[in-house]
A and B are shown apart, each in its own frame.
Chain A
Amino acid sequence: MSRGATRAGGGIPHYKAVVIGGSAGGVEALATILPALPGDFVLPVLVVQHLHASDDGAFSFHLANLTQLPVAEPCDKTKVEPGRVYTAPANYHMLVERDGTIALSVEGRVNWSRPSIDVLFESAAQAWGEALIAVILSGANTDGARGILAVHAAGGLTIVQDPAEAGSVVMPQAAIATGAVAHVLPAGEIGRLLADLGGRKTNLPPGYRHSIRQSTA
């Protein structure tokens, strides 16, 4: 099996989707990342943010004010479309099927969380393999670490918010400790990198490839 995303024309990896997971401090990081995505951003973005079980779409509404991209809490079997942001509803796990539709589930909590980042990332890794970009943001538990491993094992690109600036370091550090993280970056740079990887016009150098950076954290 080939490793690394397939290259389109000029040596640029060809990605199909972005998944983002955050917990405590994650909303602040999203507030930096999402505004950086251009209106012509072509990748779908699936977000799991740990929420209070009674959140009634308020989080999704909040994100919609941060980005030019349309944001919605998906219903079960929603087809994932380019340039849209999907937020996991409170109290449901959000998974991706291989046919690119979203599946919701109320099965038990994973890492004390529903939605769980691992559940999204592991299913997305199955669905999109090396064409997936996964981002772990600030958080106070270790949800997402297994997911990062799965994304990396499937050949996808893994990015973690720099613990030095994260509101809570536990989640980024757990992800980095897997040894499967390619980039450790501040939220501002994550936004710019995503914009480069998923914008219509990409500014990446021709030789760009994603590699595992030795983490310093």
Chain B
Amino acid sequence: MDHDKIEIIEIDLLLEAVFRRYGYDFRSYARASMERRIRQFLSVTECSSVAELIPRVLHDEDFFSRLVRYFSISVTEMYRDPLVYRAIREKVVPLLRTWPHVKIWHAGCATGEEVYSLAILLKEEGIYQRATIYATDLNDKVLAQAREGVYSLDRIREATQNYQQAGGRASFSEYYHSRYDAAALDSSLRERITFANHNLAVDGAFGEMHLVFCRNVLIYFNRELQNRALGLFTESLVHGGFLCLGTKEDLRFSAVNDLYEVVDGKAKIYKKKGGP
């Protein structure tokens, strides 16, 4: 058996060890990227094979924490893909207005930039006060940062440009206070947001959502786990509720495709069929 095939077994065993020892289930994550990150981690350790990582991971919690840092990818930005926010304003908000109360779930919110971007949009559209927003992630560290809502001025500068392209109605500077080299987002943006730990691989659905945002999270899952997460969203959404995926994610390859109609093909906004 050649080296590659042996390494596949080693990686299976490592992921199994992580799951059984710590309860984190990365066995259903997209494999190529996972393998890449394991090899990357291997190259910064003294270990010479993936197999050698296994006893270390099992017996040394700090070693495991170092490994998990390679597993979690929380790259995000405010108003990433401005066209998505334009589409939300034009095609989703008019329907959100027709509900007396609006519930929104950001699944895999990372450090929160996307959550605040949408919160600002809802404020400008006058529906923030009747919204309840849940922002979840499996990584407590990024959730803590999301709760803080403090970002570097560099990021805020980038966000300002995107905000305008996204159809922002005010001046972006109205939404934050600069302190030294960082900017704290206005705390009123946080009023209706609840941040919570939720793992799409093991936890259950939320009730009665009108809009689910889950962007650039499903790309890290294999097809089975994608279908599990999409099942949760479908269960959570009211009939006529909206699902917004990353611009390079598509329901076409999923088990729930038939349950949705396309609202905006480029922005990847879908609407759950059925109901009155």
Contact = CB atoms under 8 A, between A and B. Distances in A.
Interface of A: 1, 56, 73-78, 89, 92-93, 95-98, 103-108, 119, 122-123, 126-127, 129, 154
B38 to A, nearest CB: 12
B33 interface: yes
A96 to B, nearest CB: 6
B124 to A, nearest CB: 23
Main secondary structure of the interface of B (DSSP, over half): helix
Given A93-B33, A105-B33, A106-B73, 20 more contacts: A1-B2, A75-B249, A75-B252, A76-B219, A76-B248, A76-B249, A89-B248, A92-B248, A95-B32, A95-B33, A96-B32, A103-B30, A103-B33, A105-B219, A105-B220, A107-B33, A107-B73, A123-B32, A126-B32, A126-B35
Nearest to A120: B32
Given A105-B73, A106-B216, A77 B37 contact: no
Contacts of B31: 97-98, 103
B250 interface: yes
Interface in B206-248: 216, 218-220, 223, 226, 246, 248
A104 B219 contact: yes
Nearest to B246: A76
A104 B36 contact: no
A210 B8 CA distance: 28
Nearest to A125: B4
B219 A106 contact: yes
Nearest to B3: A1
A123 B216 contact: no
A142 B141 CA distance: 34
Contacts of A92: 248
Contacts of A106: 73, 75, 216, 219
A171 to B, nearest CB: 21
Nearest to B5: A1
B253 interface: yes
A16 B24 CA distance: 36
Contacts of B223: 77
Contacts of A96: 32
A130 to B, nearest CB: 11
Given A75-B253, A106-B73, A95 B216 contact: no
- Scoring A73, A76, A78, A93 by chain B CB atoms within 10 A of each residue's CB, the highest score goes to A76
A103 B73 CA distance: 15
B253 A123 contact: no
Contacts of A119: 36
A76 B250 CA distance: 7
Contacts of B2: 1
